[in-house]
A and B are shown apart, each in its own frame.
Chain A
Amino acid sequence: MATIKLLKKSQTRRISMPLKKGATVTDFALQDNGDDTCTVLGVDAAGNTVDISAVVTLDPPPTSSDTSIITVDPPQGMTFAMHATGKLSTPGTPVIVTATATWQDGSTGPFAFDLPVDVVPGPVTGVVIQPGTPTTH
């Protein structure tokens, strides 16, 4: 037996809901001289990832909330590269890399996802002497 619910067209527009309810996004750690290639995937109601490359475009292109710390290349299909510039992010204040997937036929979405990225120091490869404030005697 069919169940039918009438809705106005304006009521059918979906809002972005990138994760299952209650799920948390874990910060991604990137070394200060690091590069990474990211892939954008769909997420279904059960939280499983789905290849959506045939039906969406990354439009607008992925962005970085602070390009002095992380830069983001234009996307190629569902992937894009991000690069650490060498500057560290402030602990507790990650750089937010945002991707937006827009359905080519407008049937659903668009959906956006924010990936928090902490830019951290790499392994110690040497030492430096840092003089303090001089005083007199």
Chain B
Amino acid sequence: MSTRISLFDDVHALRIAQEATVAELVRIREALEVVSVNIAAVARALSPPEDIVGITIEPGPVTTH
């Protein structure tokens, strides 16, 4: 599964698109030494809603008045 992860600090954002495990992200954090990565936030970012790119309105059955 392809995942997209956004990490933020005060100034910059890192966008990492890869098949990554949390352990790999920890290694990335150590290698970068740029920002403090919140692993809990990373875990949330790995959840399916990250993939949402828009919304839609789905009408239900019509009734009359």
Q: Which residues of A contact B (CB under 8 A)?
A: 1-9, 11-12, 14, 16-19, 28, 30-31, 33-45, 49-50, 52, 55, 79, 83, 97, 99, 101, 107-109, 111-113, 115, 122
- A122 nearest CB across to chain B (Å): 7
- B15 nearest CB across to chain A (Å): 5
Q: CA A120 – CA B20 in complex, angstroms?
A: 52
Q: Is the CB of A50 within 8 A of B49?
A: yes
Judged by DSSP, the binding face of B is strand
- B62 nearest CB across to chain A (Å): 5
Neighbouring B residues of A9 by C-beta, 8 Å: 8, 11-13
Q: Is the CB of A16 within 8 A of B14?
A: no
Closest to A56 in B: B55
Q: Which residues of B contact A (CB under 8 A)?
A: 6, 8, 11-18, 20, 24, 28, 32, 44-45, 48-65
Judged by DSSP, the binding face of A is strand
- B34 nearest CB across to chain A (Å): 9
Known pairs A12-B6, A43-B55 / 8 extra A-B pairs, C-beta < 8 Å: A4-B32, A7-B15, A9-B13, A35-B62, A43-B56, A50-B52, A99-B57, A108-B49
22 of the cross-chain contacts (CB-CB < 8 Å) are A2-B28, A4-B14, A5-B16, A8-B12, A11-B13, A12-B8, A28-B59, A31-B64, A34-B62, A34-B65, A36-B63, A40-B57, A41-B56, A42-B52, A44-B53, A45-B51, A45-B53, A50-B48, A108-B49, A111-B52, A111-B53, A113-B54
Given contacts A52-B49, A108-B50, whether A3 and B17 have CB atoms under 8 Å apart is yes
Q: CA A18 – CA B50 in complex, angstroms?
A: 15
Q: CA A112 – CA B20 in complex, angstroms?
A: 31
